[in-house]
Structure 1
Amino acid sequence: MNLRLNTLAQMVDQDARVADIGTDHAYLPIALVQSGKIDYAIASDIAQGPLANAQEDITQAGLEQQIEVRLGAGLETITHEDRIDTVVIAGMGGKLMTEILNSAWQNGFQFPTLVLEPNVGEPGVRKWLVDHSYQIEAEDLIAEAGHTYELIKAVRVPAPVKLNDAEIFFGPLILKAKNPVFYQKWRGQLAYHQKLLVNLNKAKNKDTEHIEQIEHEITMIKEELDDQG
């Protein structure tokens, strides 16, 4: 497995019952079972092609008894009888991720642990977690193959844990750690935001709300980069 999947695997608790949503090749559940970390997982995907790949890889690994393959959208493939306590959703946009979680929530599914890797829209995912009484227990910011990835492990708690704007935007634990990837990512994002702001200000019909949001984000990014001197 690559660094991204290995880091996700580390966030899964020992003996968890896992649903890997958007599983693709089922690399993650296969690795988790093979390592002895878990003994049951559901590998779920909305597309027949990736699911066929997953089934083939599971069969080759001899794990058909421990990893079930299910075809369907989001968390619709999961039942209460499955007793899933950990949901992994990785490699999709934050908006789609929160839509999947919302849909399950409205159908009475409140999973104790979520392991998430949105590839865009990370602040929206953190806001959803806060709004639904999840506490971010672990976070990592990694770089691999020219991309950066924010990985989030959240657990359900009795009362909401408030996060400020910067913590929602960057990630509370990512902000504390500020590893080298943090500076690499946000220097690039600062340049992108500044260019975007110029273009927004050039528009005939200015979107003042969007402009103010980008200005606010530029201020936050500069503040966090300033401590590197």
Structure 2
Amino acid sequence: MLNSKRLTAIADYVAEGARVADIGSDHALLPIELVSRGTCPSAIAGEVNDGPLEAARRGIAAAGLGRVINARKGNGLEVLQPGEADTVTIAGMGGALIVSILEAGREAGKLEGVSQLVLQPNVGEELVRSWLLEQGWLLAEESILEEDGKYYEIVHALRQADAGARNEAIYGGEPLLSHLTADEDRQLKLKLGPYLARSKPSVFIEKWRSELRKMKRIEAQIGQSVTEDASKRRAAMAKEIRVIEEVLECTQTDMS
């Protein structure tokens, strides 16, 4: 059983019977959990670094799962053959790196046959949501949790025929704030998460209050400069701060 709330939450998104590939698997804790609990009949643990790869192989052997979990060395999705997995999990990386892994895999055909993505970026969540939207993946669910003083968002995406129309309803439709333009509203939903910004769980509020404190410190630092560029940057940040504060203050509403 996992001792990590973060990895447990990721595992809970994986569909029963899935053929999963965990990219950047580190010690292969997630594949071991998924196979041990009976969610997945088999799994691939991909790791680019020798140290974590050997640790993964030792953990897999200790769990007696060497026949059903295959630890492979490789960069990103290059450890996969097209059609070999239907679910990909990537956790514990920055959003930009996750996007680069997904895009390289898409271009190489490695996402062929993959119908489910479970992604947990440490930062840059909006980059992940933007890529999913651009590539036609349905944003099915998202969640947020706190563990050891850090906040983690998990994004669950599905490949579905009606993803375009459903994403339009998710990112379009009723704006988070009535005074925003359609483009401003979409960018805000990409940043905050459309489901999270609507439901506003307590951890979401805590995270963004913490982020706002950081943003205000940066705004004050920028304000010490008298250049025109600094003035524009400070005005843009002040506007972003006001918008996020307004979202946090709004009464909770359901997703439209």
- Provide the rounded CA distance (Å) in 1 between the counterparts of 2:61 and 2:225: 56
The answer for the alignment partner of 2:218 in structure 1 is 196
SS of the aligned residue for 2:212 comes to: helix
Q: How many residues align?
A: 228
SS of 1:202 mapped into structure 2 = coil
Q: Is the 8 A contact 1:136 1:154 kept in 2?
A: yes
The answer to whether the Cα contact below 8 Å between 1:11 and 1:153 also exists between their aligned partners in 2 is yes
What corresponds to 1:88 in structure 2? 89
Q: Give the secondary-structure state (helix, strand or coil) at the position aligned to 1:139.
A: strand
Question: What is the TM-score when the length of structure 2 is the normalising length?
Answer: 0.84
Deviation at 1:175? 1.7
Distance of 1:129 and 1:215 partners within structure 2: 29
Please list every run of at least 4 consecutive aligned residues from structure 1 whose deviation after the TM superposition is greater than 6 angstroms: none
Superposition pairs of residues 1-229 of structure 1, within 5 angstroms? 1=2, 2-80=4-82, 82=84, 84-110=85-111, 111-158=114-161, 159-160=163-164, 161-162=167-168, 163=171, 164-203=186-225, 205=227, 206=229, 210-211=233-234, 213-227=236-250
Q: Deviations over 1:120-166 (max 9, x none)?
A: 10011101110001111111110010101001100123353232222
CA contact (8 A) 1:11 1:138 kept: no
Cα pair distance change 1:86/1:210, threshold 3 Å? farther
Contact kept? 2:23, 2:89, Cα under 8 Å: yes
Query: CA distance change for structure 1 residues 29 and 146 in 2, over 3 Å: closer, same or farther?
Result: same
What is the SS of the residue equivalent to 2:118? strand
Point out where structure 2 has 5 or more consecutive residues left out of the alignment. 172-185, 252-256
C-alpha separation in 1, matches of 2:71 and 2:128: 26
The answer to whether the 8 Å contact 2:82/2:109 transfers is no
Q: Cα 1:88–1:207, aligned 2, differ >3 Å: closer, same or farther? A: farther
Q: Which moved more, 1:175-184 or 1:98-107?
A: 175-184
Residues 93, 121 of structure 1: 8 Å contact kept: yes
Instruction: Tell me how far apart the structure 2 counterparts of residues 79 and 56 of structure 1 sit (CA, whole Å).
Output: 24
User: Do 1:98 and 1:128's aligned partners in 2 also have CA atoms closer than 8 Å?
Assistant: yes
Query: How far 1:200 moved relative to its partner?
Result: 2.3
**130-139 or 102-111, which deviates more:** 102-111
Identity of aligned residues (%): 37
User: How far, CA to CA, are the matches of 2:42 and 2:82 in structure 1?
Assistant: 15
Aligned-partner residue type, residue 214 of structure 2: Y
Q: Letter of the 2:89 partner, please give it.
A: V
Whole-angstrom CA distance in 2 between matches of 1:224 and 1:117: 23
Tell me, in whole angstroms, the C-alpha distance in 1 between the residues paired with 2:232 and 2:117. 32
Give SS of 2:223's match. helix
Residue range with higher mean Cα deviation, 112-121 or 192-201: 192-201
Alpha-carbon distance in 1 for matches of 2:100, 2:6? 23
Cα gap change, 1:200 to 1:24, in 2 (>3 Å): same
Give the direction of change, closer, same or farther, for the CA distance of 1:213–1:89 in structure 2 (3 Å limit): farther
